[in-house]
Chains A and B, each alone.
Chain A
Amino acid sequence: MLFLFPAASLTAQTSKDNLLYLKYIPPLNQGTILFYIQDLQKQTGISVSYSSSFLHLNKKVQLTGKENTTGQVLAAILQGTGIQAASLNGKIFLLREQSQTQYYTISGFVKESNSNELIIGASVYDPVTRKGTETNAYGFYTLQVPDTCTGIVFSHIAYQTLYQHLPPPDDGQLNVYLAPHGMLQTVNVNADRGNVSSQAGYLNMPVGYVSNFPALLGEKDVLKSLQLYPGTSSSLESSSNLLIRGGGSDQNLYLLDGVPLYHTGHLFGLFSIFNGDAVKDVSLYKDAFPAKYGGRLSSVVDIRTRDGNMKEWHGSTTVSPVSASILLEGPIKKDKSSASLSIRRSLVDLLYGSTLLSDYGKYYLYDVNFKLNQVIDDRNRIYVSFYKGQDKMFVRSNNPLIQLFDDYNFDWSNISAAAKWTRVINPKIFSNTTVSYSRFYNLFTQNSIIPLSFYDSLFVRGKGVSRIRDIAAKNETEYAISNNQHISFGLGYTYHNFAPTAYHTNISAGDALQRQAPIYYMSDVTAYVEDELSLLNDRLVVRPGLHFGALLQYSSVYASAQPRLMARWQLPHSQYIQMSFAKMTQFLHQLTTPVINLPTDLWVPSTENIKPEHAYSYSLGYQKQWSNLWRFNINLYYKQLKDLVTTNTVLNIFDNSDLWEKKVIAGNGYNYGSELLVEKTQGKLTGVFSYTLSWAWRQFDRLNAGRMFPYKEDRRHNLSLALKYRINPKWSLAASWKFASGAPFTLPVQIFPDFDWARNIKGYLDERYSPFSTNQVNYLPYFARLNNYRLKPIHHLDIGGTVNLGKEKFRHIITAGVYNIYNRSNPFIVSFDQFSYFTYDEIYPLQLYQYSLFKTLPYLSYTLKF
């Protein structure tokens, strides 16, 4: 029945004996095309020839009831298909019109076959024309294919590639189920996507990747995995504090299922709050920012959590000497709704709290991720997600190591909750609407005994809270006009409620002014539109966009139009060149002094005195792939930062006032550098080699005499090499080596007599400054230039191995390894002079003291999957 003749090659008969004028009355007014053709053949005995490759047989059609000949019925059911009927040699042929190839749209969701988990970033393309697309963050795709197309390829790095024959089902929605590769097979970033989705400055990481390489204490960490790639680094050794292209950690927009998070570190940034068990997919944008993102200067880290298995209940549990986690997921109603719950908790306090650490205090953290996924129908789906992460720390004043004056409690927590509705409006239009709530708070209590006299003292219990609450709603819509043009647009509104500096004590204020803690109420409005165009036979992809953001509050209004442009020129042999420009604006600022990721770092808004920060980012990249096995990528970037906000003193964040504005100064920054990536993405041996050469400068009129100085996160060289060798399906070995140039540090070039000391003025009374102020040094430092000295470089080699045991039902994974195998002493803190008690009169040698955190550390963890 497969005849493919152009209509022009036949001449339709027009005489009365034409087969198209035979009487035929269809039995029903509604049915599929196939039904009418078969019924016509059955009733009239006429053979109808057609090609199923261009005729959508299951398409439902409606007749008027007035059709009473074969020709009228065929004309009615073929209306709009570009196909016409012709009679020839005693047969009716259904022929495509001569004008041009006909296209139709298929769309649907790509899911994992075992669980119905939606797959993000799967490639969907016609293997003949190489036209394609990829699934969005909700596993949805839409693609226009020619009627000559006989099948579509669906592929994803973590799944077996599927060739799906066409035509699609009757309603045009083609949901596809991909089977995962073998257990824990090495997967890698952006491999196997051909020319469809690769972008310079963009990383997409399936969660399986996270556990590929050795990790500190065996803790899978999403953000640390990203640090293997060029342009990314951390401020300290093995910190999850992600720094992108010389930007600060506050310049990254972290989205957990689309909800912005303000604090992403546990244990002062040693581990990220993103539980590897709960995460499905991570995307990092370093440049070429899509217009839908805004609000931060340096990067976007978009993290999606697991939706939950729709087929059957599964789970896993992992135990290590420092933490335990459990994941449960399964259907509430099979193929209709599912739930996923993951919990992680540190065990340090439980295992060692009463012994090793009892004299120091107590610490624990936990995370809870929960997600509910309800399929309403083929086109509508609802998600409800919830996250809570908590750190609690108690530090004793009388610990055996350093005598503090006070007991301290730290308690910081993130909560985010979101309800999301995704809707396939039609095969070309996909929309998602999200309402969300996000809260971060840092609670800090301090119990002090302040001596008032020899016999008298004052007990002070101070409680400080810094809090952020956001309530947001947004809509994002994607419209695939054609394979060559995709438009996306959206609107968002966030209501911010910031209370950054609330403080209360038990003591009588006396003469002290009773201040109400300042609260900032703000409206954050966003809108965006973006058009992705494929031109010149797909050789050129251009994506212009515009993001608009505005921060409105009682005392000030700031608005920012942020143009975005990405252009990618496809070259032969899987090569391309990409350039991008983006303006980014940040209305919210994190005020911080130290370089570690403290929950006490203060988030404040732009006010009438503090302007928004801006970044103008330019990038140029080149990429080549070899048969999906190797990938080579080189990028150049330049970023200009304006109105950067920083503090020029040690912050006291808890004083119930908005006087923080007086401690803030604004300046500029310049980040530039180049990045190199070589990746082997398939085979028994896989790995990543990345190198970044970069500079990051800052310039503030009131610092360093107005001259530029290296930013505290400036690292000249960053290099990482990570390899994994899969011996067999059970055993694999991995190693990684990371190197980063030393951090800048301001070292005095001279010391000279202290001003008070020189005048015989002493001053130790009433805990004047800090616990360290008892170190009454008799000198002042003279700093000729800020950050004039470099700490020692940080590098460490880690090795690890994984063994997978067990059968289908229960699987056991044992991971073990050694961090910093050659016992390198990496600088954590370097101090000029000691953190010790001295008096004015004591003469002692001065030198540098380097404190290192991690020497050689073994790790071991066990995972049971069921």
Chain B
Amino acid sequence: MRYLHIIGCLFCWGVITSCEQELPLPAGNGMPRAVVYSELIAGTTPEVRVGRSKAVGPGIDNAFVFTTDAIVQLQDRNGGLIETLTYSPDSSNVMGLYVGKSTIDPGKNYKLQVTVPELKPVNAMATIPPPFKVELLDSVRTLLNGRPVLRFHFTVSPIPGVKQYIVMEALKQSVITDTSFTYKGARYRKSEHRSWFDEVKNKPEADIRKDSIFQNDYLRIPCYTQDETADNNQIGGLNENYNSILFTQNGKPLTTDFYINATALSSNPTEAIAPIGRVLVYVKSVSKEYYDFLLTYEKVKRNPGLNSLIQAIQLRSNAIGGLGVVGGSYQKLYYLYYDKL
């Protein structure tokens, strides 16, 4: 049950008797800005996605320029350079991906400086939350308002004197299964060298193995909460689904049931509702700025505010000089395998 449904009906009714007119967008005087997305995760190496925004004006479309010429620097809190990230070519990406080698430490502050030619540089500071303790007490398949769900019972321990911003979400990562074979010291993929595979497959020196290759492709799994302390209640109702469940933890243990939609857990080839893959369930402690972004992002995804009937929602951002967000995160990741890989 969603309020937008109601507006949808009204709109439908209105359109029945209305007529549509295309109007040019007013000429804007804004310049494109650099867009930076990064979640600096404790214990991992930094990854930063860089792109360009488009100023709204006549002739605009929704195609974005792929950015490969940015200079991305990871700095310590005082601006000291830790490393310059390098561009990582990957045709599956829609924004330029820049990766680093240093490991992100929990409890530290990092600065990210991104310079895209001809655009204003972007500076952002992210605090990496300290380690936190989360306990998965059990998980069970059940029903929530008629929908099959998987329920996780989590307890997140507080850190004395520290306000924690907890985010729970779930993704399904696509996987493809392929066969690799090694012949005379060289390794090949069957999907890329099918004829060669057919030729050598029966030779004794051919070493044939089946691989699961996880793709840079994810499906967001809707999640739910029944917890009235969740900040999702600032966004919608308890019977609704969300990208992520958000909590502000004020020094008290957080014990909650986290639900994810079970429809996508396993894939049925005839249905194609969900890809074959593995399920990733995240429990994260994130920086305040990142949390604010996620909270407003959740609102924007439900209501982009792109028509005159609905008030627009402004995204929170800490990317000074640009757009996007640079967040700090300390995460616990649970892998669930329902599909046969």
Contact = CB atoms under 8 A, between A and B. Distances in A.
Interface string B24-62: 111010101101010000000000010111111011111
B51 A649 contact: no
Interface in A624-658: 648-655, 657
Contacts of A408: 5-6, 9
A836 to B, nearest CB: 11
7 contacts: A452-B263, A650-B302, A752-B324, A760-B94, A766-B261, A828-B14, A829-B11
Interface in B64-105: 64, 92-95
Interface in A431-489: 444, 446, 450-455, 458, 460, 462, 464
Query: When A and B form their complex, which 8 residue pairs have the shortest distance between CB atoms, in order from nearest?
Result: A510-B143, A655-B237, A763-B220, A507-B146, A454-B271, A770-B4, A746-B312, A752-B53
Given A596-B309, A783-B312, A851 B61 contact: no
Nearest to A770: B4
Interface of A: 268, 360, 363, 393, 395, 399, 401-402, 404-406, 408, 410, 444, 446, 450-455, 458, 460, 462, 464, 503, 505, 507-513, 593-596, 598, 600, 648-655, 657, 659, 662-663, 703-705, 712, 743, 745-753, 755-763, 765-766, 768-773, 777-784, 786, 789, 791-792, 825, 827-833, 835, 842-855
B2 A831 contact: no
B184 to A, nearest CB: 36
Interface of B: 1-26, 28, 30, 32-33, 35, 37, 49, 51-56, 58-64, 92-95, 142-149, 151, 171, 216-222, 226, 228, 233-241, 243, 257, 259, 261, 263-264, 268, 270-274, 297, 299-315, 323-325
Given A655-B237, A758-B94, A827-B308, 12 more contacts: A268-B10, A395-B12, A453-B271, A453-B273, A511-B257, A594-B309, A648-B313, A760-B93, A761-B218, A765-B263, A783-B314, A851-B14
A651 B235 CA distance: 8
Nearest to B302: A769
Contact of B21 (A460, A748, A769, A850): A850
A851 B18 contact: yes
Nearest to B227: A513
Most buried by A among B149, B220, B270, B306: B306
Contacts of A844: 61-62
B310 A510 contact: no
Contact of B148 (A446, A452, A850): A452
B4 A769 contact: yes
A512 B237 contact: no
Which applies to chain A's interface (DSSP): helix, strand, loop or mixed? loop
B299 to A, nearest CB: 5
Contacts of A747: 25-26, 56
B4 A772 contact: yes
A27 B111 CA distance: 113
Contacts of B53: 750-752, 782
Contacts of A763: 219-220, 222, 243
Contacts of A410: 6, 9
A853 B94 CA distance: 40
A861 to B, nearest CB: 20
Contact of A848 (B25, B54, B55): B25
A654 B1 contact: yes
B1 A503 contact: yes
Most buried by B among A464, A594, A712: A594
A844 B233 CA distance: 35
A827 B307 CA distance: 11
Given A268-B10, A829-B309, A508 B62 contact: no
Contacts of A778: 62, 64, 94
A26 B323 CA distance: 104
A704 B314 contact: yes
